[in-house]
A = this chain, B = another copy of it.
Amino acid sequence: MANKLLTEEIEPGLRVHYGIKKLYGSTETKWQQVDFVDLEPFGKTLVIDGLIQSTQCDEFVYHECLVHPAMLLHPNPKRVYIGGGGEGSTAREVLKHKSVTKCVMVDIDGEVVKFCKDNLPENAEAFADPRFELHIEDAKKILEESTEPFDVIIMDLDDPLEGGPCYQLYTKEFYEMAKSKLAPNGILVTQSGAAGIKMHKDVWAPIHSTLKAVFPKVSAYNQAVYSFIDEWGWNIAFTDTSRSVALTPEQVDKLIVERMGSASSMKFLDGIAWQGVMATSKRHRETLAKETTVMSTSGTHKFMHNPGVATMSERSKL
C-alpha cells in the first residue's frame, strides 16, 4: 500500500483507507477543501472535504444513473437546469442529448468549477459547449429568478444535513418552487444519498416521501457505486403521471439511439441495465412505504436515523 492514504469514515465503525499514488493538486476554496489525487484502487479521483466525489473507475456509473433516466423519460428535453454539479460530468452527460438547447448549471463554488475545468480534460468539451451556461451562485436563487421554464431539473448536491448548507434544497418548499419552474411534462431528479440495505432509510427514503408530498408521481432507484462503498440512490419526480420508469429494455435502447445518436454514448446504462437500476429490493420498498417524513424549511426533521449518517450524508455531489 502506498504510504500516503486518504481516509473516510463511511459510518461509525466503518473506516476506509485508500492508497494515494499521486497528488495532482489541492486547493482550499472559500467553501471547501478540494484534492485531485490518483488513488490506487480507483485511479484519478476528485475529493472534496475529504470525501470521494468521483473517480475514473466509476464516475460514469453515478453520472449515467443521475442524468439519463430523467432525460430519456422526458418526451423532448430542451432546457435543463443543474443544481450543483461543479465537476462538469453531469453537464457532460446532459449535453449528449441532441434535443438540448440550453443547459444551465448553478454551482456556488467557482473555484471548484475552475479547478475541475483545469484538471478534468474529459469534461472540457462540455464546459466549452455553446448550449452550456454557468452561474456561480446559490442554486435556489437562480432557479427562483428564472422566467423561462425548464424541461428537466437535475439536483446534484451535498446530502441534506440538518443545518447543513444544502438542507434547504431538499425541502417541500424548494420542491414546490422547482415544480413551478418546470414546463409541462417536466421532470425533476435528485441524488439522494447512500441507498444500500442499511443506509437507504437515512436520506433516500425521506427525500422520497418529501417529493411525494409535492409531485403526483415519484420513483426511487439505486445502484452500487464501488468507490462510494455502498449502493447510491436517486429520486425522480414527474409532473405528468403518465410517465413511468417501467420501460422495456427495447424501449430504453431505442430511446438512447434516438436521443444521443448512438448506443455507444454510455458505458454502464442500457436497456437491460435500466431494469436493474429501477428495481429495488423488497426491504427497500417496505421502507419507502412506511416513510412519512416531509422535510420543510421551517421543520427540524432529523435526517439521521442512526448516528452513522451524520458522516455518511456528508458525502456529497457538488
Contacts and interface: CB of A to CB of B under 8 A. Distances in A.
Interface stretch (A15-23, A87-95, A128-136, A205-213): A15-23
Interface stretch (A78-86, A112-120, A272-280, A293-301): A272-280
Contact of A58 (B17, B40, B198): B198
Nearest to A263: B282
Given A39-B13, A197-B57, A229-B229, A6 B7 contact: no
A215 B231 CA distance: 32
A57 B308 CA distance: 14
Interface in A1-58: 1-21, 23, 26, 35, 39-41, 47, 49-51, 57-58
Contacts of A35: 4
A172 to B, nearest CB: 28
A104 interface: no
B273 A276 contact: no
Copy number in the complex reads 4
A17 B9 CA distance: 9
Contact of A270 (B23, B278, B282): B282
Contacts of A49: 3
Interface in A160-185: none
A141 interface: no
Contacts of A16: 14-17
Chain A interface residue number, banded: 35 or more
A196 interface: yes
Contact of A276 (B13, B15, B17, B281): B281
A9 to B, nearest CB: 8
A40 B276 CA distance: 30
A224 interface: yes
Contacts of A41: 10-14, 198, 308
Contacts of A67: none
Contact of A269 (B17, B50, B281): B281
A13 B7 contact: no
A229 B224 CA distance: 10
Interface string A186-208: 00000000001111000000000
Contacts of A6: 3-5
A57 B4 contact: no
Contact of A196 (B11, B20, B226): B226
Interface string A87-115: 00000000000000000000000000000
Contacts of A19: 12-14
Interface string A225-241: 01001110000000000
5 contacts: A1-B13, A4-B5, A11-B41, A16-B16, A197-B268
Interface of A: 1-21, 23, 26, 35, 39-41, 47, 49-51, 57-58, 61, 196-199, 224, 226, 229-231, 266-270, 272-283, 285, 308
Q: What 9 pairs across the A-B complex have the smallest Cβ distances? A: A13-B40, A3-B50, A276-B279, A13-B19, A275-B279, A224-B224, A14-B41, A5-B5, A273-B281
